[in-house]
Amino acid sequence: MLNGILEYAAKYDPTGLVGRAANEVQYAETMIAVLRKLAGIKLDGPYTVVQMVEQQARRSVKAPAIVFEGRTLSWAELDARANQVAHWAQARGIEKGDVIALMMANRPEFVVTWLGLAKAGATIALINTNLTGGPLAHSLTVAAAKALVIDADYAANLDSVRNLCEALPPVFASAGAIPGADDFDAETAAQPRAELPRHRRPALTAKDNLFYIYTSGTTGNPKAAHISHYRFLQASNAFAAQMGATRHDRMYCVLPLYHSAGCIIAVGSMLAVGGTVILRRRFSASQFWDDVVRYEATCFQYIGELCRYLVNTPPHRKEQAHKLRVVCGNGLRPEIWPTFQDRFKIPRIVEFYAATEGNVALMNADGKVGAIGRIPWYLDRVFNTKVIRFDIETEQPVRDARGFCIECPPNEVGETIGLIPQDPNKPVGRFEGYKGKAETEKKILRDVFETGDMWFRTGDLMRRDQLGYFYFVDRIGDTFRWKGENVSTAEVAEALTVFPGVREVNVYGVQVPNTDGRAGMASIVAADDLDLEAFDAHIAKALPAYAQPYFLRLQPEIEITGTFKHRKVDLVKEGFDPAQVADPLYIRHPDLGGIKPLTPAIHADIAEGRLRF
In whole angstroms, give the CA distance from residue 88 to residue 174.
Answer: 14
d(CA 396, CA 448): 12
Q: Which helix (H) or strand (E) holds 496?
A: helix 489-497
pLDDT at 32: 80
pLDDT reading at 561 higher than 80:
no
Does the structure show a pLDDT above 70 at 214? yes
CA distances from 250 to 73, 141, 302, 556 (A): 13, 37, 14, 35
Instruction: Name the helix (H) or strand (E) containing 116.
Output: helix 108-119
- Indicate if the pLDDT at residue 220 is higher than 70: no
- Cβ atoms 203, 193 nearer than 8 A: no
Task: Lowest mean pLDDT of 11-25, 138-152, 475-489, 495-509, name the range.
Answer: 11-25
444-456 residue pLDDT tens: 999 999 999 999 9
Q: Mean pLDDT over residues 121-136, rounded?
A: 92
Closest CA to 242 of 268, 262, 280: 268
Report d(CA 149, CA 171) in Å as an integer.
6
Angle made by CA atoms 403, 437, 261, in degrees to the nearest 5: 95
Q: Average pLDDT of the chain?
A: 91
Q: Crossing angle of helices 75-91/49-60, nearest 10°?
A: 140
pLDDT digits (tens, 9 = 90+) for 394-439: 889 999 999 999 999 999 999 999 999 887 666 677 888 898 888 8
Position 218 pLDDT exceeds 70: no
User: What is the pLDDT at residue 142?
Assistant: 92
Dihedral sign computed on CA atoms, order 530, 535, 538, 543: positive
- pTM for the full predicted model: 0.84
pLDDT at 2: 53
Q: Judge whether residue 8 has pLDDT over 60.
A: no
Find the DSSP H helices in 146-255. 155-159, 184-189, 229-243
- The winner for highest mean pLDDT among 7-16, 243-252, 434-443 is 243-252
Q: How far apart are CA 423 and CA 438, in angstroms?
A: 21
pLDDT tens by residue, 330-384: 989 898 899 999 999 999 999 999 988 899 999 998 899 999 999 998 888 888 9
pLDDT digits (tens, 9 = 90+) for 283-313: 999 999 999 999 999 999 998 889 988 998 9
Which letter does DSSP use for residue 326 in this model?
E
- CA atoms within 13 A of residue 564's CA, in its CB half-sphere: 21
Return the exposure string of 29-45: e unless at least 16 CB atoms fall within 10 Å of the residue's CB, then b: ebbebbeebeeebebee
CB 364 within 8 A of CB 344: no
Q: Residues 126-138: what's their mean pLDDT?
A: 90
Q: For the domain with range 483-607, which CATH number is right: 3.30.300.30, 3.30.70.20, 3.40.50.150, 3.40.50.300?
A: 3.30.300.30
Helix (H, G, I), strand (E, B) or coil at 75: helix
Over residues 581-609, the mean pLDDT reads 94
Region for residue 411 given its phi and psi (left: phi exceeds 0; alpha: psi -120 to 50; beta: otherwise): left
Q: What is the pLDDT of residue 584?
A: 95
Cβ neighbours for 393, distance < 8 A, ≥ 6 positions apart: 481
Give the pLDDT confidence score for residue 359 in this predicted structure. 93
Structure confidence at residue 88 as a pLDDT band (50, 70, 90): very high
Q: Are 112 and 87 in contact (CB under 8 A)?
A: no
pLDDT in tens, 166-178: 889 999 999 999 9
Nearest to 228 by CA among 423, 426, 49, 417: 49
Is the separation of the CB atoms in 386 and 47 below 8 Å? Answer: no
- Least trusted range by pLDDT, from 261-270, 273-282, 299-308: 299-308
Residue 381: partners with Cβ closer than 8 Å, 6 or more residues away: none
Give the pLDDT mean for 546-557. 94
Over residues 543-564, the mean pLDDT reads 86
State residue 470 phi and psi, 5-degree precision: -105, 145
According to CATH, the superfamily of the domain at 373-475 is Luciferase; Domain 3 (2.30.38.10)
User: Given this model, what pLDDT does residue 35 score?
Assistant: 78
For the domain covering 40-282, report its CATH number: 3.40.50.980
The residue count for the chain: 613
pLDDT bin (cut points 50, 70, 90) of residue 19 is low
Is pLDDT of 588 > 80? yes
Q: Return the domain boundaries, the chain.
A: 2-31, 40-282, 373-475, 483-607
E strands present in 79-208: 99-103, 123-126, 147-151, 171-174, 182-183
> What is the C-alpha separation between 112 and 170, in angstroms, rounded?
20
DSSP for residue 378 = G
Q: What is the pLDDT of residue 426?
A: 67
CB 251 within 8 A of CB 280: no
Q: At residue 155, does pLDDT exceed 90?
A: yes
Q: How far, CA to CA in Å, does 453 sit from each of 126, 391, 485?
A: 32, 21, 32
Is residue 601 predicted with pLDDT exceeding 90? yes
What is the spatial order of strands in the sheet that 276-279 belongs to?
Answer: 71-74, 64-68, 276-279, 250-253, 299-303, 326-330, 349-353, 362-363
In percent, how much of the chain has pLDDT > 70?
Answer: 95
The string over 369-388, giving b where at least 16 C-beta atoms fall within 10 Å of a residue's C-beta and e elsewhere, is ebbbbbbeeeeeeebbbbbb
Contacts of residue 568, defined as CB under 8 A and 6 or more positions apart, other chains included, come to 218, 219, 478, 506, 508
Q: Which of 53, 206, 221, 9 is nearest to 127 (CA)?
A: 221
Task: Give whole-number Cα distances, 377 to 247, 442, 460, 464, in Å.
Answer: 34, 29, 21, 11
DSSP, residue by residue, 233-274: HHHHHHHHHHHT--TT-EEEE-S-TTSHIIIIIIIHHHHHHT
End-to-end CA distance of the chain: 61
Q: Say if residues 396 and 390 touch (Cβ distance below 8 Å).
A: yes
| Cβ–Cβ < 8 Å for 298, 324 | yes
What is the average per-residue pLDDT within 190-202? 97
Q: Tell me the per-residue pLDDT of 90-106, one tens digit each, with 9 for 90 and over.
A: 999 999 999 999 999 99
| d(C-alpha 497, C-alpha 523), whole Å | 11
Residues above pLDDT 90, as percent of the chain: 72
Confidence of residue 562 (pLDDT cuts 50, 70, 90): low
- Rounded average pLDDT over 69-83: 97
